[in-house]
Each structure stands twice: as structure tokens, then as C-alpha cells.
Amino acid sequence: MGSVSSRIPLPYSPKVIELFRNPKNLGRIEGADAEATAGSLACGDMIAIYLKVNKKNEKIINAKFESYGCAANIAAANILTEMIKGMTLRKAWQISWRQISDELGGLPAVKYHCGILAVGALRRAIRAYYKEREKPSWLPSSLTPEERQTLEEEKMMELLAKRLRRLSAEPGR
Amino acid sequence: MASDLLRSVRELLKRYGKPEREVYLDSENSGLVLEEALEEMLQVYREAIGHPSITNRPGWEAYEALYRASERIARAIGAEVEELAYTHSGTEANNLAILGLAKACGVSRRKIVVSAIEHLSVIFPAEELAKAGYKLIKVPVDEEGFVKLDELATAVDRETLLVSIGLVNHEIGTIQDLKALVEVVKDRDEDIIFHTDAADALGKVRLDVEELNVDMATFSSHKVYGPKGAGALYVRDGVKLEPILRGQLSAQRLWPGVENVPAIAGFGKAVEVLTSRLDEYVSHMQRLRDMLIDGIMDNIRWVLLNGPHGGRRAPGNVNVSFLYCEGEALTVELSMHGVYVSSGSACTSRALEASHVLLAIGRGYEEAHGSILMKVTPMHTREDVEYVLEQLPRAVERIRSLVPIRGG
């Protein structure tokens, strides 16, 4: 079921609009120590996070993002890269989507998933950092709820896209 | 929460002043009102303050204003005044047509047929009936949005209560060959009721309910550049319909509560103005529409036109998908420069679902997410379109520059 008649941009906080207009930390980091994406073009929601890490103290020296998504998605990825600069990976791991929402002056309820996707992308990047390194004790082996939800969104879209392709391949369509 | 929102909106209004130039192309959602309609409304607000079904002088004045509007609308669509029921929106009129018919007709016929690209105010009531035990069939459309005649013919039978297919699609502008669709249905069984959502057709195409041979038709004031807050349902004499709301009836039988007389007066005036200048307005809108479409296609890469070309497309409708460019972000970017449009992206919908119309014509999710809907009206000018064409390439380029995956 679609929903066309409510296709009106949602009222955003001034902070979201400000970051949407003048994003900081936009782009890639060449030779990043860790990077990850979450979401997909089909979701209409995709965030890529790039990290440069000081290997001695595991502090994040630099963080950048790219985004395919609505203004809230762009602002969420942006504010997250601001928040984690200078943090240890351990501390960055603990940032919740709720903190992102608060920093943005409150996301509309239907946009909470933008914060979740940003957290999902960051945690994937942190896991990627430890892929070839010794895993610290604070890094859980099973997926956190934010990572699970990110994965579920990706899987659901894959299924929907497949079904749509099948439907449009049917004769008489 | 509501007060947070209000604070945000006030802060935004304060921080972002009015852009130097504004072009409002979002008439799908709201829009410009014709001067003539505004004047008519003001006059009724000031001079016909009564309740149209109460017998005193102000009431007679309100009654007269209401029927003046009815005469104008009836004349424009080829109906009788008594065949019009007023609601407060097109959404309400579609609900009345579908739910009111089911209510009146009991359980003798239990099948509803709609097209896959109907407005949600058709799809949702039809789905509600499906939950109550009706069989619901959504007839597919081709890649330009035209309902497939053979699929429709197979879908309808002697169990069918209602077929509802819009004359002009609100999103992609497809103008159906409605006469042929009605014929297929009535050939199968002439007792099947045919309803058309004609909200996007009135003032855009020549329209006569007798000639189309439809039983019911929905109209909406704001879609004809009248005020918001008025809709109408044409119900052919003899079609059985029950009110779906309960309350004190006023001047009409099918929608209780007092009619919004000033809005209906503005609605009637807008219909009169549009139909009296139909040819002039249609060719004006077509010119601007094609200028906008051609300008986009010539100057921006990776663009798809959604819906048909030329004469089979609503004169004001422009719907394009910019690949690798998320539509909601694009609407916000454009709005900062005074260009107001809407998108079929999941992100702009409160339910986070991509446009069902675009999916039904075979667009993928990525293509739906990058779609932009613009509607030019008789009030727009060449300069407006030039300004939009000046702003669009830069805005698309900026949103594309944020994306992790580059096209091409």
C-alpha cells in the first residue's frame, strides 16, 4: 500500500535544516581505518561512515559521512560524525539513536529510523575496525538492536524489490 | 510534542525569510486560489451568513448562494443540480461514493474493482470493505498508467457492485479513455455502478458525466484552484446511496452537518471560470508543462519521465524521477530557493512507503524515491518555469553530491 496523499515534507527542527544546508564532514576519507554503509538505495535511506583512528589510544581523529536520504538522514549522519570526533571507539559505540535525535533538537517520530541507521552504520564501521585486530571485551559478539534493525530494513527492501520485479515480469503487466 | 513542533516551525519562519522569488508547484497538496473564487467567497462570507436550510432571510441568502454554486458546477459537468452532494473534500466524496454505496446495497453484490493507481481516498475505503468481506480487485495498469481493458473485462462480473477508476491520475497525469472503460463494464452488466474520481480532471479536460456514462464522480475544490474545504460527489439520479455520517441534515441528504457555503461558492466560481476558459488554459498549461519537461530532460542527466507524453497527459502534470537523488531531500533543497514541489519518495510520506502509483507503472523503489511531482496551473507564467529550470539542475547536483554511490 502506498501513501501518496500525505506526501508533504515533515516539519524539521532548525538544527536539521541548518545541517542539511551546510553539512560538515561530508565526503570520504581516503585510506580510512574503517568504513561501512547501512541501508540501500532501494530503502531510500543509505548512510556511509568513514573513520580515521589513532591506533595507540583508539580515539577517532576524523570522521566523515555520505548519505542518500531525506534531510533528517543527512542531518543524523552529519551530527553523529561531529559527536564522535575525539571519542574513543568504545565511547562512540555507546551513542544511541536517541542521543542523535536529542542533538538534532528532536526528530519527528517517523524519522527515528534515520538515527537508528546512523548508529547502525557507525557500529558496523567499528566492527570493521576490529575485524583484523584483537576484539576488545566491550564489543558484543551478537548484534545490538540498532544493528539488527538496520539489517532487517535492508532485508525487507530486498524482499520487496524482488517481489516487485516478479510482479512486473508477469505477463499482462 | 506538538508544542516542540510549533516552536520549531516558528523558529524556522523567523530564521528563513521569504525567498525573493517563489513558485508554488505543489498544487497536488494545496495551492493558489483564483481571484474570482476569492471574491465570490468574501461576498458570501459577508452577505450570505445564514444556514442554508433554515427559513429566515439570511438562510434564504445562503441557500441561494449554495444553489448558485450548484448550477455552475452542474452546468460544467453536464449534470442536474439535484445530482450533486457536497462534502468538505475530495477524500470525503470518494469515501461517500464507495462506503455509501456498499451501505445502501447490502450483501447482494460483494465485489469491488479499482485500478492500482487510484488516490488513497479510493484505495483505503475499498480495502476497508475488503476487510469486511468484500472481494477487492486492483486492476493493473501499463507503464504509462493506462488501465488494461482486457484485465478490467476479466475482473468484472455479475457479483460486482462497484468499479472505481479515476479519469485523470493525480500523480502521473494519465488521462484514461474512460468512455471505453465504462463501456466494457456496462457491457458485462449494466447494473454495475461506475464511479470516477474526477478531481484531477475537472478544468483539465472536457468532461460530461452523461457522455462518459458514469454513475458517480468526485470533484474537489482545491484541485480547481478554489478554496480548500469543499468537495462534491455527482450521484446520478436513481443510484442508491446511504449517508456514512450521522447527524442533522441540512440542505442536502447525503452529508449531514451544515454545508461550507462560502467555500462551496468559491468552488462553484472556480469551476465556472476554468470551464469557460478551458481551451485557453489547457494550451497555456501544456506549453508550460512541456517547457518544464523538455528543460529538465535537456539539462539534467539520469532523468525518467513518469506517465505518458503529450495529449494523453494532464496539461499541468510534470512527474520525473532523478536517479541517485533522494526526492525528499530535493524538495527541501528546492524549498530553500522558493520552489515548492512534492515527491513520491517514501521519506515524504508519513507511512514511509514509496508511491504506489509509481510502483504500479513498473518503477523500482530507487526510481520512486527520486521522483518529483510538479503541477503547473493557469496562474503560472513562462518566467516561473524559467526560474524553476534555473534552480533545478543545481539542486539536483547538490543532493547527488551527498550520495555514497555515483551513477554512470
Domain boundary assignment for chain B: 35-276, 278-400
* C-alpha span between A81 and B17 (Å, rounded): 29
From A137's Cα to the closest Cα of chain B, the distance in A is 32
The model's pLDDT over A106-122, given as tens digits with 9 standing for 90+, comes to 888 888 889 999 999 99
Contacts of A23 in chain B (CB under 8 A): 402
At A10 the pLDDT is: 62
At B347 the pLDDT is: 67
Residue type, A131: K
Nearest to A164 among B148, B364, B405 (CB): B364
ipTM: 0.81
Domains of chain A by residue range: 14-132+145-169
* pLDDT average, residue stretch A158-171: 69
* C-alpha span between A149 and B218 (Å, rounded): 42
A 125-154 residues inside an 8 A Cβ radius of B: none
Interface test mutation site (partner B, options A10, A13, A66, A68, max chain B beta carbons within 10 A):
A68
Residue type, A72: A
At A172 the pLDDT is: 40
At A162 the pLDDT is: 78
Q: Which of A151, A133, A48 is nearest to A89 (CA)?
A: A133
The model's pLDDT over B339-373, given as tens digits with 9 standing for 90+, comes to 999 988 766 655 567 899 999 999 998 899 999 99
pLDDT at A13 over 60: yes
Which one of the listed residues A38, A43, A89, A118 is annotated catalytic?
Answer: A43
Supply B183's cell numbers.
463501456
Q: Which CATH number is associated with domain B35-276?
A: 3.40.640.10
pLDDT band at A169, cuts 50/70/90? low
> What's the whole-number average pLDDT of chain A?
87
B 336-355 residues inside an 8 A Cβ radius of A: 336, 342-355
* C-alpha span between B20 and B72 (Å, rounded): 38
Supply B59's cell numbers.
438562510
Residue type, A126: I
Does B13 contact chain A (CB < 8 Å)?
no
Give the CA dihedral B81, B85, B89, B91, nearest 10 degrees.
-130
At A51 the pLDDT is: 97
Rg (CA), chain B: 22
What residue ranges of chain B have pLDDT lower than 50? 407-408
3-state class of B249 per DSSP?
coil
3-state class of B396 per DSSP?
helix
B 307-336 residues inside an 8 A Cβ radius of A: 324, 326, 328-329, 331-333, 335-336
* C-alpha span between B395 and B329 (Å, rounded): 10
Q: Quick check: B28 and B19 in contact, CB under 8 A?
A: no
What global pTM score does this model have? 0.90
Fold of A14-132+145-169: Sufe protein. Chain: A (3.90.1010)
Does B149 contact chain A (CB < 8 Å)?
no
Burial B131-162 (b: 16+ CB within 10 A, else e): eeebebbbbbbbebbbbbeebbeebbeeebbb
* C-alpha span between B167 and B219 (Å, rounded): 11
* C-alpha span between B167 and B146 (Å, rounded): 10
pLDDT at A4 over 50: no
At B349 the pLDDT is: 58
* C-alpha span between B15 and A14 (Å, rounded): 8
Does A5 contact chain B (CB < 8 Å)?
yes
Does A26 contact chain B (CB < 8 Å)?
yes
Contact B402 A68 (CB under 8 A): yes
Q: How many alpha carbons lie under 13 Å from residue B70 in its C-beta half-sphere?
A: 21
Contacts of B324 in chain A (CB under 8 A): 41, 68
pLDDT band at A138, cuts 50/70/90? very high
- Level-2 CATH architecture, domain B278-400: Alpha-Beta Complex (3.90)
- Output the CA–CA distances (angstroms, integers) from residue B13 to A11, A79, B6, B19, in the order listed: 11, 23, 11, 11
Contacts of A159 (CB under 8 A, 6+ apart): none
